[in-house]
Amino acid sequence: MIPENTKKLGFGTMRLPLTDPENAAAIDISQFCEMADHFLDRGFTYFDTAYPYHKECSEEAVRRGLVSRHPRDSFLLADKMPILRVRSAEDYPMYFEDQLRRCGVDYFDIYLLHNLGRDRYVNVQKFGGFEFLGKLKKEGKARLIGFSFHDSADVLDQILTEHPEVDVVQLQINYLDWDGAVAQSGRCYETAVKHGKSVIVMEPVKGGQLANLPAPAAKLFLEFYGTGPDAPSPASLAIRFAASLSAVKIVLSGMSNLSQLRDNTTFMQSFSPLTEEEKDLAERIAKELRKAIAVPCTNCRYCLEVCPKNIAIPDYFGLLNLHAVTGKKSNMYYERFSMNHGKASECLHCGLCEKNCPQHIPIRRHLEEFAALYEAT
């Protein structure tokens, strides 16, 4: 299992710093190197990547910024099989060997099937995905095996019942989704606990929504903690909420700059679980946020992998949520987001995005709302 002395904060390489904010492949390697060094210097060791992150450039960035610069036994590295692309049993070793090459390693400490759910489980079963994981573990190419998951607790229960051999499950857990009907964070966590699995947490700040609280929720936070120089950040409440759960071994944070990393490593350096009063605060903030958020998008950008019109769906939904919270539009950001991307009104209503969305968002309907708000003459 994940060593007990491993600090609970993990470095997610899904939102790395960029030299060009319009190009997800333009990773700022120099800044990432500095961030990785600082992370390790403070005693944190867990790094997480995946095949499609940053237009398939995240794994190479991990090699350049981490693997080639630090001893292999000084960090833990997790990667994920892109099961959406697998069309036959032969694809598994092909992708895996490519990932080893991209990352510059001989093995992964944790290896997961990426974004497993009801529909994808069918093909994973058909093509022997779990058997492949077992082979990797037997050969020492993956120390721990499991899957990341976006679906209902009932589906999770089925998969863990049929495949008790997995070591870990990566779940979306945050205080906003804890009682939610879509992500079902609380129910999925309890299901993993029932099956005795270690839990890795993704989206603890829900794509940044819990790090940048709107005014009514921010007021609750500030009234509780104050505004002094030692006051914590909203992100700290969200990450500590997830880390306070006993079965959680790692909480991933997709840190985009050194400032975020310094903040996260500071409050997680000597981690303390939430008090009962802080748990109550998180619940009150969640209730306030649910009043305003129009689209529960986490900016994972899986929809963009399949959109035939290359519509900037997550960016447009961010603007829709901004309008829902503040009542304001941002034409400047709309012009920026729509540059080199399709407009919302160009949606073909093919539904591919909705099939690929971990949050099960009715994307087509929200794109119509966005088009009415931003594209109406």
What would the pLDDT profile of 273-330 be if each residue is shown by its tens digit? Answer: 999 999 999 999 999 988 888 898 988 989 999 999 999 999 899 889 878 866 778 8
Identify the domain boundary among 245, 260, 286: 286
Say whether pLDDT at 204 is over 70.
yes
Q: Which residue has the higher pLDDT, 92 or 338?
A: 92
Least confident of 54-68, 81-95, 201-215, 347-361: 201-215
Q: Are residues 172 and 200 in the same domain?
A: yes
- Among residues 286, 321, 351, which one ends one of the domains? 286
Q: Residue 193: exposed, middle, or buried by beta-carbon count in 10 A (0-12, 13-18, 19+)?
A: middle
If residue 147 lies in a helix (H) or strand (E), which one and from where to where?
strand 142-149
If one compares 318 and 107, the residue with the highest pLDDT of the two is: 107
362 and 279 belong to one structural domain: no
Whether residues 234 and 203 share a domain: the answer is yes
Looking at the domain assignment, is residue 256 inside a domain?
yes
The pLDDT of residue 336 is above 80: no
Q: Is residue 323 part of a domain?
A: yes
Q: Which of 231, 252, 286 marks a domain boundary?
A: 286
Query: Does one domain contain both 211 and 126?
Result: yes
Q: Tell me, what's the pLDDT at 299?
A: 85
Considering the domain boundaries, does residue 19 fall inside one?
yes
Cα(148)–Cα(216) distance, integer angstroms: 33
Classified as helix, coil or strand, 95 is helix
pLDDT given at position 329: 87
DSSP per-residue letters across 152-171: -HHHHHHHHHH-TT--EEEE
Measure the CA–CA gap between 278 and 280, rounded to whole angstroms. Answer: 5
Please report whether residue 69 resides in a domain: yes
* Rounded percentage of the chain residues whose pLDDT exceeds 70: 99
| Same domain as 260, residue 315 | no
- Residue 249 and residue 347 in one domain: no
Within a domain: residue 42? yes
Q: Which residue has the tokens 């993993």?
A: 192
Q: Is residue 154 part of a domain?
A: yes
Burial 338-349 (b: 16+ CB within 10 A, else e): beebbbbebbee
Residues 6+ apart with CB under 8 A from 205: 174, 211, 235, 238, 239, 253
Whether residue 318 is found in the same domain as residue 265: no
Number of domains in the chain: 2
In a shared domain, residues 307 and 281: no
- State which residues form the domain around 166: 9-286
Model pLDDT, residue 102: 98
Residue 1 lies in a domain: no
* 8 Å CB contact between 73 and 104: no
- C-alpha span between 184 and 359 (Å, rounded): 10
